[in-house]
């Protein structure tokens, strides 16, 4: 696909990201085609994608993209709260869109298995932190490490 075509593709996404665009503008940023493309690459990937996977995905459509731009943009999107960054073990940080289902993970350090955890399980923790420390926890896409039921047998 040529550069021109991919630019057109991006423009068709503008409507879908108008809210994101507004948010970025309020903060003094613009939703550039590069940023938009990275965001949609994260959303396409069912979440949980690493920077390298995102890079591989966007490079086919946007050959001008380099890995440091990917890292920088991911930092920005994380800072703006549009994506979450979670260490899911194995030395790999994974990104997940913030607007998709609030959940957490149990990561087994023995077999590497990952289970999904409903956000409601952290409600008591949030309440205790608020009550005891007057601390408002921003716990999004959290990974808890340990040993799964199968490995404990």
Query: Is 45 near Zn ion (CB under 5 A)?
Result: no
| DSSP per position, 4-61 | HHHHHHHHHTTGGGHHHHHHHHHTT----HHHHHHHHHHHHTTS-EEHHHHHHHHHTT
Q: What angle do CA 6, 10, 13 make, to 5 degrees?
A: 150
Pick 8 or 151: Cβ nearer Zn ion: 151
Q: Which is nearer to Zn ion, 14 or 151 (CB)?
A: 151
Does residue number 118 form part of the binding site for Zn ion (CB under 5 A)? Answer: no
Rule CB under 5 A: say whether 151 interacts with Zn ion: yes
**CB of 35 vs Zn ion, minimal distance in Å:** 22
Question: Tokens 């550069």 — which residue?
Answer: 3
Give the alpha-carbon dihedral of 48, 86, 21, 73, to 10 degrees: -90
- Candidates 12-20, 30-38, 112-120, 121-129: pick the segment binding Zn ion (CB under 5 A): 112-120
Between 65 and 108, name the residue whose CB sits nearer to Zn ion.
Answer: 108
Query: Would you count residue 108 as binding Zn ion (CB under 5 A)?
Result: yes
Which of 111, 115, 125, 139: binder of Zn ion (CB under 5 A)?
111
CB of 89 to Zn ion, least distance (A): 11
Residue with tokens 């965001």: 39
Neighbouring CB atoms inside 10 A of 6's CB total 17
Containing H/E element for 72?
Answer: helix 67-79
- Applying CB under 5 A, the site for Zn ion has a residue count of 6
Whose Cβ is closer to Zn ion: residue 52's or residue 110's? 110
Residue 110 makes contact with Zn ion by CB under 5 A? yes
Cα(15)–Cα(4) distance, integer angstroms: 19
Point out which residues bind Zn ion (CB under 5 A): 108, 110-111, 113, 148, 151
């Amino acid at each position: 696909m040529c550069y021109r075509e991919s630019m057109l593709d991006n423009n068709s996404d503008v409507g879908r990201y108008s809210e994101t665009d507004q948010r970025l503008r309020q903060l003094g940023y613009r939703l550039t085609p590069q940023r938009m493309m990275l965001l949609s690459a994260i959303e396409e990937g069912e979440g949980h994608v690493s920077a390298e996977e995102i890079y591989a995905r966007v490079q086919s459509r946007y050959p001008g993209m380099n890995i440091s731009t990917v890292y920088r943009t991911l930092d920005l999107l994380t800072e703006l709260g549009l994506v979450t960054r979670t260490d899911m073990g194995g030395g790999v940080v994974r990104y997940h869109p913030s607007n998709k289902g609030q959940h957490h993970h149990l990561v087994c350090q023995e077999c590497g298995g990952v289970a999904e955890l409903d956000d409601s399980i952290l409600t008591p923790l949030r309440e205790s932190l608020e009550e005891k420390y007057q601390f408002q926890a921003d716990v999004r896409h959290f990974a808890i490490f340990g040993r799964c039921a199968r490995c404990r047998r």
